[in-house]
């Protein structure tokens, strides 16, 4: 009886090890350089209209396993000085508490805390949002757009580069990160951060 139990335990252990090894073997590192990370901040102006702002420079890195639809170790950084807004007033408020020098390398960053699996193309990515060295827990709603091979040539023998595309968004309070917002502000404290990422 003991021998039978030992054999079953050993069999389960070997199976678990093989599954774990398979998962790590299939996971691949993807990188999205500047130009492949589109980021937007949306904020309402006293309920009258939305103000749209962009980051023109950002990068991202992550691990992805298409066999299990698992995303892990997502990190992104948006260069603060690349921020531009449709509203000059919102731009002034965004930087009023933390003015930037022209050589500043301040960033908005995010670090994923736990791996997630896309179910029907949807997932919740948890981690920490970092702005002005202030860290806050954040939850990004994610949509897996496409995984496949992207070719930029007409060469029939060019299979293209394995590519991953997904979109994420979250809501945050600007006042939590010294990004303006006061009782006299015309803009809501709550803002939406949205990213579209294409990584290879």
pLDDT tens string 23-44: 444 679 999 999 999 999 999 9
Smallest CA-to-CA distance from 39 within 68, 80, 3, 70 is with 80
> What is the distance between the alpha carbons of residues 122 and 116, in angstroms, rounded to a whole number?
10
Q: Which segments of 87-176 are extended strands (E)?
A: 107-112, 116-117, 122-131, 134-150, 161-173
pLDDT tens string 109-123: 999 999 999 999 999
Topology, domain 28-199? Lipocalin (2.40.128)
pLDDT grade for 155, boundaries at 50, 70 and 90: low
Smallest CA-to-CA distance from 108 within 170, 199, 31, 44 is with 170
pTM across the whole model = 0.81
């Amino acid at each position: 009886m003991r021998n039978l139990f030992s054999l079953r335990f050993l069999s389960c252990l070997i199976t678990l090890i093989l599954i774990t090894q398979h998962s790590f073997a299939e996971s691949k590192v993807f990188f999205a350089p500047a130009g492949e990370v589109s980021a937007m901040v949306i904020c309402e102006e006293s309920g009258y209209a939305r103000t749209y702002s962009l980051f023109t420079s950002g990068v991202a890195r992550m691990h992805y396993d298409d066999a299990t639809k698992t995303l892990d170790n997502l990190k992104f950084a948006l260069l603060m000085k690349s921020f531009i807004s449709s509203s000059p007033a919102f731009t002034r408020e965004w930087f009023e508490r933390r003015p930037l020098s022209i050589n500043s390398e301040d960033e908005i960053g995010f670090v994923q805390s736990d791996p997630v699996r896309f179910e029907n193309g949807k997932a919740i990515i948890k981690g920490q949002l970092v702005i002005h060295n202030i860290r806050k827990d954040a939850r990004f709603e994610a949509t897996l757009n496409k995984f496949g091979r992207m070719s930029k040539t007409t060469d029939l023998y060019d299979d293209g580069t394995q590519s991953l595309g997904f979109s994420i968004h979250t809501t945050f309070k600007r006042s939590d990160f010294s990004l303006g917002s006061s009782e006299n502000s015309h803009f809501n404290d709550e803002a939406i951060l949205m990213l579209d990422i294409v990584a290879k």
